[in-house]
Amino acid sequence: MEKIEAGNGAGRIHPRIIPLGVERLPQGNHRASGMVLRRRDISGKNQELLLFLNGFGAMWVSAPGSGRSNRFGGGTEPMTWGVFDLYQSPRRIYLKGVDIREFFWGVRKSKRSLDTAVKWCIELSSRLPTGHESDSLLSLLWGSMKNLSAGVNHLLIDARFAWRWGNLWGLAPSLDLCQCCGRAIDITSSNMTAMSRDGFVCGACLSEMKKRSESSTLRGQISAEAVRVLRLAATIPREGFIVWAKSDEADAAALANLKQELRDCASWFYSLL
């Protein structure tokens, strides 16, 4: 099976950017690589798919004949990665064919990985504007699906995905600085830090807020150790991430004491999008 690397452009087939304000593609044939995010039944025989495509972003397409005897095979299954042949008619855009490149079996065979990937599809479906390319985010999705498929712990990869998505949109909190005082967050102390609507709150500011009875406005507290692991999970480059994520240190963090904190942080990152 040929590998498509969304991040290095290998999966790009006729890159086209839809101009802002233009909802419809030019009439005719189009071809792009990407992933199925959602599928909904229109009738017994027809379905509509929300595709996330290189050069095009998210778009709904009609998939005639994708019902019980599906002529597209597994090409209309959510989380399938492929090259999609489309036709834009005067009224709507149709799916003509799918060249499946990656079915992500490694994700589908593990319940936790599958739950994580389904969550990504739901989050993307509800937040992505249609008709605007988001190739950096598609590249992040590709790398995250590959890591998930390779058995990386779902909590680590989910926190990484959520923070990096926020970072692409300029909405991720700084993992280094306190949003109240601007000082570096001390990850060597045993002081707790906290999550607020605007970013991390350092231990010193958290103490002050507690004295002034203002801590109830915070989303929750988080240990310095969890901040340290989050920094690594979120910022290690793709090549080194899988090695770190499968190390004993990361494994212990994700599997034991930091489980709930990683979960809370990922939810917090999504809430900021």
Closest separation between CB of residue 185 and Zn ion, Å? 8
Token duo for residue 58: 């998210």
Cβ contacts of 57 within 8 Å, gap of 6 or more:
18, 128, 129, 130, 131, 132, 133, 134
Toward Zn ion, which CB reaches closer, 98 or 194?
194
Toward Zn ion, which CB reaches closer, 231 or 263?
231
Report CA torsion sign: 37, 118, 7, 170: positive
Closest separation between CB of residue 192 and Zn ion, Å? 12
Closest separation between CB of residue 273 and Zn ion, Å? 24
Interface with Zn ion in residues 139-198 (CB under 5 A): 178, 180-181
Toward Zn ion, which CB reaches closer, 99 or 208?
208
Closest separation between CB of residue 10 and Zn ion, Å? 44
Contact stretch for Zn ion (CB under 5 A) within 117-125, 152-160, 202-210, 261-269: 202-210
Beta bridge partners of 61: 49
Token duo for residue 56: 């095009």
Toward Zn ion, which CB reaches closer, 63 or 180?
180
Q: What is the DSSP letter of 16?
A: -
Nearest to 158 by CA among 40, 5, 262, 236: 262
Cβ contacts of 146 within 8 Å, gap of 6 or more:
none
What is the rounded distance in angstroms from the CA atom of residue 11 to the CA atom of residue 32? 8
* 245 is an interface residue for Zn ion by CB under 5 A: no
What is the rounded distance in angstroms from the CA atom of residue 156 to the CA atom of residue 169? 20
Closest separation between CB of residue 225 and Zn ion, Å? 18
Toward Zn ion, which CB reaches closer, 54 or 193?
193
Tell which one of 137, 141, 205, 258 touches Zn ion (CB under 5 A): 205
Tell which one of 202, 229, 230, 254 touches Zn ion (CB under 5 A): 202
Q: In the bound complex, which residue of the shown chain has the CB atom lying closest to Zn ion?
A: 178
Toward Zn ion, which CB reaches closer, 6 or 202?
202
Closest separation between CB of residue 218 and Zn ion, Å? 12
Beta bridge partners of 35: 52, 81
Beta bridge partners of 50: 38, 60
Toward Zn ion, which CB reaches closer, 114 or 177?
177
What is the rounded distance in angstroms from the CA atom of residue 23 to the CA atom of residue 33? 19
Binding site for Zn ion (CB under 5 A): 178, 180-181, 202, 205
